[in-house]
Amino acid sequence: MKKFNALFRSGFLLIYFMVVSCSLSAFAANEFNIIPYPQLLIPQQGTFTINSKTVVFCSFQQPEVLKLARQFSTQMALVSGIKLSVRDISGADSTNAIILRKTSTSENVETYRMQVSPKTIHIQALAGNGFFYALQTLYQLLPPEIYGKKLSAHQKWIVPCVSITDNPRFSYRGLHLDVCRHFFPIAFIKKYIDAIAIHKLNKFHWHLTDDQGWRIEIKKYPRLIEIGSKRDETLIGNNDANFPRKFDGKPYGGFYTQQEAKEIVAYAKERYITVIPEIEMPGHAQAAIAAYPYLSCRKDSTFKVVTQLGIFPEVYCPREGTFTFLENVLSEIMEIFPSKYIHIGGDECPKDRWKTCPDCQALIKSKNLKGENGLQSYFVEQIENFLNSKGRMIIGWDEILDGGLATNATVMTWRGINGGIAAAKSGHDVIMTPGTHCYFDHYQADPVSEPMTIGGFTPLSKVYQFEPVPNELNEEQAKHVLGAQANVWAEYIETPQRVEYMAFPRVAAMSEVLWGTKHGRNWDLFRNRMLTQFKRYDQLNINASKAFFDVQFHSSITANKQLLISLVSDYPNVQIHYNTNGKVPTLKDALYKEPIIIDHSLTVTALTFINGAPICKQLSKPFMISKLTGMSFTKNVNNSWYDGGNVNALTDGITGNTKSTNQWMGIAKSMNGEIVVDMQTAKEINRFSVGMLNVPAKCAIISPVVKLFGSVDGINYQLLAEKQIPPLTSPNWKILRPELIFKPVTVRYIKLQLKSSTECLADRENGNLLFMDEIGAW
């Protein structure tokens, strides 16, 4: 019933459902596997078959359209052996023809209309953009083999008859790539742009400079490449993986010449994609400062390109020489990139150096600025004024709001949506890219089963749920939301294959968010269409994540404090088999039909099957059940409390892991911890355990002592057990689960006390952390 109701959310889906249900087409609903889905699609009766006699007609007076027609003909010849003739539209025939005809009825250059009948495919658009997107749709109406690189054994090239009217909801539809933390070759950048194009995205945000490397040639400043593009070595694992931190000892570098960058701009332009370069300032500047130390506020000539990850204090000093340098750099950047926008970063700029810099403090005083935040705004305004004078506009991360927003700046909001709301309400254009939904360097499946990432959790379904226009904006303010963008930060992405794994298929979900209507999205229909999309990825040799096919474990607490476990998969219509013996599930194991109730600790192992064959990797999930499961608890601190987004993590039946801190709860600032649990009624217990996470690089050190108290009234407590814990010597993440055994006692309340350790060698200004997870009593 849910699926039936969802189909009626928009008029075109109602029409779509009625036509398909009446069997007017030989093609079922899921045969129109177009991503992003068109604004209006009405199936028609019959099919059009492309054969050796099919002719492509277009105006030879429109070079862009003629080029697109020839590209389509070339691709058809490559995969099918059919050589389509391309002829001028003046001699167009309405039989066995693909006709590309210019229309003057549309004001949007990205709009197109397509009418497929048994005799003709008729495409209308105002400009090359529209024809390009129409052809992307036509490719997706054909078998996935159309995306291949060699002759296919596929015999028939059939297009279902259909009427489509289509245009994007947002003008800015972006995908980002960080090439500073890890460098990627030109051939891959082109492949990445091809992938952007087939998803009908139109902006490529190229993050070219950062602390870990300067990646674009600037002829006036050759040391940016000679020194700034190279680092001595690279951190192994993530920032907190080991202490002391480990490095690979291998020099690392790479850069793009201006000619290569121009080549990318031209390549993208042919696919109706604008390349937006990002030159970070005033923070994330240490690679530039290593090349030209005078750009810093400190008199030091020993700066080096950063070899680890994080935020660093060396930032551009707001002096005349620095602004001259940046203007010269941006002048060369503008010669390479003709984009309306230049992204200037503006994020994560520590003010430490400015606070101790006499020149900076004098500037704050002379300009009557509001402290160091005001100085950052002044910095941004100087750059904006320069770029505006050259006919360009700036984009900056939402930190450019701090201290006051530059006059014509466009805000790219990443720290949630509040920055975008504030900017739009003040009349500034906004590009939404909140980390919650748009950061594709986050985990996309259970962290235990995934390669290492920076953290977070952004599965495909969550991306699909993203709505770029916040409810807090009225209709007029909402016009300032230009669109949104997905970001691929490369701290932990070392190869092109890993970029693809992290970006796809989540880009497919983002493309549909940005192209279609707000109320036209339907997750069930989308995931059905994704089955064909994965076949396209295979043809394109895109190493897309297969988490779509994996089992997902969802748990909740029942009224009687048991665990209700649901096993689901994004892949529709699968069979899930599971067991609790730790072996690889087979068809002989239990078939999942309904949520499983668990009343004792165990590990569930599951696998998805289709037509009797496994289609994903096996996944296991341990669950811990005790007399504390589902119970509420109180804690002795609030302001210094960390819960990873799960406020019930201590008693939810799920244990933490060493891949992510999302499931862990913690206390910061070297504070001791005290947790009180009300079991609702008096219960007999004689055993207790608590999980603790030791991360030396974070100064997250296990408690040297664990104390457990019990009470019948919540006022008078008695010590039940105490255990001394020797410090761990492991340099990396380690879980310890001490168990306390004591004489049976009947209590209603238990109190856990943990002590913050002083044993940490890592430099952490905010003191030690205490990480804990699932507590249990039996």
CA-based nearest residue to 652, from 642, 643, 660, 640: 643
**Cα dihedral 351, 357, 359, 364 sign:** positive
β-sheet bridge partners, residue 161: none
Exposure pattern of 178-207 as b/e (b: 16+ CB <10 Å)? bbbbbbbeeebbebbbbbbbbbbbbbbbbb
Contact 247, 230 (CB under 8 A): no
Tokens representing 299? Answer: 């008199």
Identify whether 63 is preceded by a cis peptide bond (ω within 30 of 0): no
β-sheet bridge partners, residue 56: 86, 98
Tokens representing 502? Answer: 């992290």
CA-based nearest residue to 230, from 304, 329, 333: 304
Return all residues near 336 (Cβ < 8 A) that are at least 6 apart: 216, 258, 261, 262, 265, 277
Return all residues near 452 (Cβ < 8 A) that are at least 6 apart: 237, 238, 492, 659
Return all residues near 485 (Cβ < 8 A) that are at least 6 apart: 172, 173, 174, 175, 176, 203, 205, 412, 431, 432, 433, 438
Q: Which residues are catalytic?
A: 210, 284, 348
CA-based nearest residue to 305, from 180, 200, 409, 190: 180
3-state secondary structure of 709: strand
Cα–Cα distance for residue pair 187/226, rounded to 1 Å:
23
CA-based nearest residue to 504, from 134, 74, 177: 177
3-state secondary structure of 470: coil
Cα–Cα distance for residue pair 486/191, rounded to 1 Å:
17
Q: DSSP states of 347-403 as a string? A: -S---HHHHT-HHHHHHHHHTT--HHHHHHHHHHHHHHHHHHHTT-EEEEEGGGGTT
Cα–Cα distance for residue pair 39/431, rounded to 1 Å:
22
CA-based nearest residue to 478, from 420, 400, 433, 435: 420
Instruction: Give the single-character DSSP code of 698.
Output: G
Q: Strands of 40-50's sheet, edge to edge?
A: 40-50, 157-166, 112-116, 120-125, 97-102, 55-58, 85-88
Tokens representing 111? Answer: 């709009």
CA-based nearest residue to 383, from 344, 349, 351: 344
3-state secondary structure of 607: strand
Return all residues near 772 (Cβ < 8 A) that are at least 6 apart: 650, 664, 665, 666, 673, 675, 690, 691, 692, 693, 754
3-state secondary structure of 134: helix
Return all residues near 623 (Cβ < 8 A) that are at least 6 apart: 555, 563, 565, 598, 601, 602, 603, 604, 653, 654
3-state secondary structure of 141: helix
Exposure pattern of 499-534 as b/e (b: 16+ CB <10 Å)? bbbbbbbbbbbbbbbbbbeeebbbeebbbbbbbbbb
Cα–Cα distance for residue pair 732/364, rounded to 1 Å:
44
Enclosing H/E stretch for 327: helix 320-336
